[in-house]
Amino acid sequence: MQIYIEKFQLRDVMHEPLLNHLRVVTYQKGDIIIQQGEQPAFLYFLVEGRTKVFASSDEGKKLILAFNGPFSVFGDIEFIQQAPYLNTVEAITDVTLLKLSLPIVQQYGMQHLPFVTFILNTLTRKFYSNADAARFNLMYAVEVRLASYLLSMTTEDESVSIHHLRDAADLIGTSYRHLNRIIGQLTDAGYIARKNRAIHILNRDELYKLAKQNIYEER
Amino acid sequence: MQIYIEKFQLRDVMHEPLLNHLRVVTYQKGDIIIQQGEQPAFLYFLVEGRTKVFASSDEGKKLILAFNGPFSVFGDIEFIQQAPYLNTVEAITDVTLLKLSLPIVQQYGMQHLPFVTFILNTLTRKFYSNADAARFNLMYAVEVRLASYLLSMTTEDESVSIHHLRDAADLIGTSYRHLNRIIGQLTDAGYIARKNRAIHILNRDELYKLAKQNIYEER
DNA sequence: GCTTCATCGGGACAAATGTCCTTTTTTGCT
DNA sequence: AGCAAAAAAGGACATTTGTCCCGATGAAGC
């Protein structure tokens, strides 16, 4: 616990009462940390591992909104707004989080300017990148979104494991079938190649042009 | 000026230094108040009239994000994030706004807990309804979105002027042509009728079913 | 009232995307 | 290695949406 407080400099934004109520909690790969629609109970801080955030519609359509690593905050909007969780948060690796129960946050955190300012900054960053992502999804075709996705998932010379391809389909908001079709097109164009259940990027520059400089950012 | 401070109880969230720097500014119908991509200079508070907020892509595609009435805040995200304006804000009637220059906000507002809390609340509300709207646009077909739009634009027995139909197309993120097609479908189904350059709602209940209880909310 | 012009509605076709289903490949088990 | 089950790839077709364009309709000036 102390180590996380040091590592993420939580003393800068929380005072004693809050720090004292922080609890460590762990989840295993695949566990649901926050379930869309439920009443919020805690504020979470991701300190170890990776998560994905997605929303489901009644019809079962999924839409992935973000991948997260440390240090990320969950449940802030819902806490402030006093409304049910908007999205589901799932562990994609084993994860460690710190949590604060909401009455505690209300009682101690909201009186403490550094903490409120911290939440404000967190929220704003989320807002900004969310707005970007939503706009991007709405305005561009799957081809552009895929290019963008591939770029943001890989660094120079890396490849995307096929295992994440269904996730990729959800993330960019299309069907698996159609994703395959577009992969085919990009392959024909010589930008990428399928090999050993993975996608290799052959021509990063062209992909970048296609993606119109827009890329999904990890938050 | 004083009248607005009373009306919206600004004393609850701003202290003297901020109140003293508030300036009144007016725009005429059709004026651009905030231009997407520009560097933010002011925080705005809409106190009179109505605005619409939209984003444009490089290709000229437009996407309307919200209609606003008093009391709305603009430029908060960009101020906190220190980043260019995300969207364009246009006056759809003559409007009156109060504004604060950002250095002032930085110097006085950010030290003042009630003000920071106020901004946090504003932002959160925006976030919540933005997320809803974005998800709605992404997950549902034009027909559903149109039903939703019609419901939220009209009260019992009102009609939607044809004049707003191009805006409607942008708002729900489709082409004017396609909007017409869907209007045709809903007309055939007997839910709405075209008459005198306006759309009349004939069967509100069925539209509501179609819209899946989701409606565009004014913010 | 007539002419001109802009706007509107809608036909025809094309492109993008979704659904369903069959074939192919991989994986896991024995 | 050999088989069964599961996952992936892709064909065929349907639906949704976009683009282009033309005839109809209404508004503005004379």
Chain A residues touching residue B121 (CB < 8 angstroms): 80
Strands B42-48 and B72-74: antiparallel
pLDDT-derived band at A215 (thresholds 50, 70, 90) equals low
On the question of pLDDT at B214 being above 70, the answer is: no
Closest CA to B92 of B194, B193, B161: B161
Mean pLDDT (chain A) is: 88
Mean pLDDT (chain B) is: 88
On the question of pLDDT at A85 being above 60, the answer is: yes
For residue B172, give the DSSP letter.
T
Q: What ranges make up the beta strands (E) of chain B?
A: 23-27, 32-34, 42-48, 51-56, 62-68, 72-74, 88-91, 95-101, 159-161, 192-195, 198-201
CB B86 within 7 Å, strand C: no
8 A C-beta contact, residue B64 and residue B50: no
Chain B 176-205 contacts with nucleic strand C (CB below 7 A) = 177, 180, 183-184, 194, 197
A63 and B116 within 8 Å at the Cβ level: the answer is no
Distance B26 CA to C11 C1' (A): 46
Q: What is the pLDDT of residue B157?
A: 64
On the question of pLDDT at A71 being above 80, the answer is: yes
Q: What is the pLDDT of residue A135?
A: 82
Closest CA to B159 of B150, B167, B147: B150
pTM: 0.85
Separation between Cα atoms, residue B128 and residue B193, nearest integer Å? 33
Q: On chain C, which bases lie within 7 A of the protein's CB atoms?
A: 8-12, 16-21, 26-27
Closest CA to A107 of A17, A12, A41: A17
Q: Which among A58, A124, A138 has the least Cβ separation from residue B123?
A: A124
Q: What is the pLDDT of residue B153?
A: 77
Predicted confidence (pLDDT) per residue in B88-118, tens digit: 998 888 999 999 999 999 999 999 999 999 9
| Sole residue written with tokens 């930008």 | A191
For residue B209, give the DSSP letter.
H
Most confident range, picked from A184-193, A197-206, B188-197: A184-193
Q: What is the pLDDT of residue B218?
A: 52
Closest CA to B148 of B205, B216, B194, B201: B216
Q: What is the pLDDT of residue A177?
A: 94
Which of A3-7, A66-70, A92-96, A161-165 is predicted with the least confidence, judged by mean pLDDT? Answer: A161-165
* H-assigned helices in B36-140: 76-81, 102-108, 113-139
Distance B119 CA to C18 C1' (A): 42
- Name the interface residues of A facing B (CB cutoff 8 Å): 55, 57-59, 61, 63, 76-77, 80-81, 83, 86, 110-111, 113, 116-117, 119-121, 123-128, 130-132, 134-135, 137-140, 173, 212
Measured in degrees and rounded to the nearest 5, phi and psi for residue B126 equal -60, -45
- Express as a percent the part of chain A with pLDDT over 90: 51
The arithmetic mean of pLDDT across residues B5-9, rounded, is 96
Q: What is the pLDDT of residue A186?
A: 93
The arithmetic mean of pLDDT across residues A49-76, rounded, is 84
Predicted confidence (pLDDT) per residue in A108-159, tens digit: 999 999 999 999 999 999 888 788 788 888 888 999 999 988 887 776 666 6
The two tokens of residue A172 are 């960019």
Predicted confidence (pLDDT) per residue in B21-72, tens digit: 999 999 998 889 999 999 999 999 999 998 888 888 777 778 878 888 899 9
Q: What is the pLDDT of residue A219?
A: 46
Q: Which amino acid is at A168?
A: A
8 A C-beta contact, residue A50 and residue A67: yes
On the question of pLDDT at B73 being above 80, the answer is: yes
Please return the burial class of A152, using the count of CB atoms within 10 Å of its CB with bins 0-12, 13-18 and 19+: middle
Predicted confidence (pLDDT) per residue in B132-171, tens digit: 788 888 888 899 999 988 888 776 666 777 777 888 888 8
B80 and A121 within 8 Å at the Cβ level: the answer is yes
- Express as a percent the part of chain A with pLDDT over 70: 94
Q: What is the pLDDT of residue B101?
A: 96
Measured in degrees and rounded to the nearest 5, phi and psi for residue A103 equal -60, -40
Separation between Cα atoms, residue A121 and residue B32, nearest integer Å? 28
